[in-house]
Chains A and B, each alone.
Chain A
Amino acid sequence: EAEVAQSPRYKITEKSQAVAFWCDPISGHATLYWYRQILGQGPELLVQFQDESVVDDSQLPKDRFSAERLKGVDSTLKIQPAELGDSAMYLCASSLFIRGTDTQYFGPGTRLTVL
């Protein structure tokens, strides 16, 4: 069964450093999502792509976070500079399309620890 791939699975960094996370969605999925999940809370949507275009990035802290999906396939989420409060699980998900009935498939996540 096809899966969403994410790397790295774990990342430890010091504050003020730059970090980057990579996501490879299920083949053929047009819509890609990045979520942040703080321990004990539900996932929070950061950015949503339809192919290579950003559909919604209203919750993305744009002063330090950036996301791209240049060829409409895989995607990178970057944080520069990292802050202590960025410690969280970063989840990537994909869906076939953007319709309300389309199932989102999640990857295993990248756990970020900022020291």
Chain B
Amino acid sequence: DAKTTQPNSMESNEEEPVHLPCNHSTISGTDYIHWYRQLPSQGPEYVIHGLTSNVNNRMASLAIAEDRKSSTLILHRATLRDAAVYYCILSALNNNDMRFGAGTRLTVKP
């Protein structure tokens, strides 16, 4: 299974952009890159996913490196409600069996 590597923790100031990195050097050509986040005492929730091109939605942007060996989740203006553990996960084309790592714990300071 392709693995991902993320920093254990990051800090950000409120209303500033946050760039959360993820390395996935063994990604295969058909693996999708997903980001989920888990707020305290809740189940994980979907943030964004992509294959090759950069993606934007109302929550965040996903920037995917040209060689697809890394990606970055971008929160354009962090709020206190964005404090969570962010998981970068790969899934195969035909099976969204997701293997979560430890993720990055994001702390947002007022």
Shortest distance between the CB of A103 and any CB in chain B (Å): 5
Tell me which of B17-25, B44-52, B68-76 binds A.
Answer: B44-52
Partner of A100, one of B42, B92, B103: B92
Residues of chain B within 8 A (CB-CB) of A101 are 32, 49, 96
Partner of B43, one of A40, A41, A44, A106: A106
A93 and B43 contact, CB distance less than 8 A: yes
Instruction: Give A77 to B74 CA distance when docked, in angstroms.
Output: 36
Q: Does any Cβ of B come within 8 Å of A91's Cβ? A: yes
Residues of chain B within 8 A (CB-CB) of A48 are 97
Instruction: Give A95 to B103 CA distance when docked, in angstroms.
Output: 22
B101 and A98 contact, CB distance less than 8 A: no
Known: A42-B100, A55-B95, A103-B46. 4 other contacts (CB 8 A): A42-B103, A43-B100, A45-B99, A107-B43
Provide 20 A-B residue pairs closer than 8 Å at the C-beta atoms, listed in order of the A residue: A31-B96, A35-B100, A41-B102, A43-B44, A43-B100, A45-B98, A91-B44, A93-B44, A98-B94, A100-B94, A100-B95, A101-B32, A103-B49, A104-B36, A104-B44, A104-B96, A106-B45, A107-B43, A108-B42, A109-B43
